[in-house]
Amino acid sequence: MHPLCTAFARPNTAHWKLQRLKLNRVDPRVLAALLMIAIVSCAIPSLSAQDAASISKIEPHLAATVASGGNAEALIVLNEQADLSGAANLPTKLQKGQYVYAALREVAERTQAPIRKMLQERGIPFQSFYSVNMIKVNASRDQLYELAGREEVQRIDANPRVHVGIPAPNTLAYSTGTNSNVQTAQAAMGITWNVSQVKAPQVWALGYKGTGIVVAGADTGVQWDHPALKSHYRGWNGTTVNHSYNWHDATSAHSQTPVDPQFHGTFTMSEMVGDDGVGNQVGVAPGAKWIACRNMDQNGNGTPAEYIECFDFLLAPYPYNQPQLANPAMAPDVINNSWDCPTTEGCSVNTLLQIVNTVRAAGIVPVMAAGNTGPGCSTVNLPPAIYANAISVGATDSYNNIAVFSSRGPVTVDGSGRLKPELVAPGQYITGAIAYNNMYQSYWSGTSMAAPEVAGAVALLWQAKPSLIGNVTLTLTYLTQNATQLTSTQTCGNYHGASIPNTAFGYGLLNILKAVQAP
């Protein structure tokens, strides 16, 4: 019997006490992985040394799931990931996008070929990705061990269906239309307070409404023909609609037409571009066009594979079921992501890291909701908001106070200690469009509501300063250095609350007027 198995069998022995003392000095994340491997090894007494080495590549939750038999979905991440560094030297966003797409496809096709051949021969279902060089499989324990044993495989992550902490719709109020927080499309509200708070109307007065810029949402879907959104949809030409290159559904529903059974995606999209032309102005950039990808179901659940499939589509959109016609020239300029991937539900910390880096390399601005687990320090702790290349956004109320639920930095879950969020925007008691009877709903709260305002602001800034298009780093500099500075009484890590930046507000409240007027 393996020594650790002996220890588990006789937990009071002096040997186990000694091992326990030694393990107490190990990093908790390493300890968890070691214990998971030990448990799996004990469950399979005949485990070979080669299989034991393979297990170390498999995410612990996944290893435990398949230990006693049965199949599970898994993400086979390959060692070689495309080198995208050359994109930084290219002058235009289009060139960056084409370069990134070509590099990703070349690496994926070349390195995945042997594994795909093996999977086909074994009859193992799979799906290939390229924005992360990865293959999704539905495989057994022994098949995963075999895959993990291949030299070209870096690691095998779980593909759990995780519940995202997004606001749940009050369907009773929507169905009756009697709730005081529900408005019909005919009830003119004017410009909503949050849009005014970030100074968007003053930028409109200068002639910049986001014209020529394309924003995207990766969310629960969109009701494309809502009055607040229809005229802004890139697939609508004023007479007919064409969803090719403009919509993709990565969920099991695979709807060919934009839908949003949960309402969240319609709401967040309306915050970016919403304006129905009859007095309801809920979006920061009403001159911009939008496209979307659905990565969560009607219950707000998604998988890492669905998130990544949406990024594959948005990097190079394509018609329904025709990825061979993907065209990076149709990619959006900014992607709003008002969701997270909880590690407590099996989402690996690094599964989405490569994709965020890829999006930024392609000259697309990746905007992420910081999370709703405040007010404690280091509560920005879930992918993708934790990543260095993500622009993470916290939430404020109408008085510019930090919302109690808004997650704070610094990021400690990966040991980086990096500052998050970079910016804040209004996110408490917000009004937006809902996917029901062309209505609007007030009083939605969350960093989900704050992030789209920053995404919309990018559209305004890029129309006003075309030289910034594709330059994500300089764009972020304009937004952070021209934000309305706000301080906090809360000190977290090495960031004092009275300093700028701090871990509650980052560099401050989005002020798009100041950014547009900056030299």
Catalytic residues, by residue number, are 219, 264, 448
- Count CA atoms within 13 Å of residue 455 on its CB side: 36
**Taking a C-beta distance cutoff of 8 angstroms, is the pair 287, 236 a contact?**
no
Strand partners, 162: 302
Cα first-last separation, the chain: 71
Q: Which residues have CB under 8 Å from 471's CB, separation 6+?
A: 363
**Taking a C-beta distance cutoff of 8 angstroms, is the pair 419, 451 a contact?**
no
Report strand pairing: 365-369 vs 334-337.
parallel
Q: Which residues have CB under 8 Å from 162's CB, separation 6+?
A: 301, 302, 303, 341, 342, 345, 346, 347
Q: What is the 3-state secondary structure (H, E, C) of 329-383?
A: HHCCCEEEECCCCCHHHCCCCCCCHHHHHHHHHCCCEEEEECCCCCCCCCCCCCC
**Taking a C-beta distance cutoff of 8 angstroms, is the pair 18, 7 a contact?**
no
CA 273, 278, 281, 284 torsion-angle sign: positive
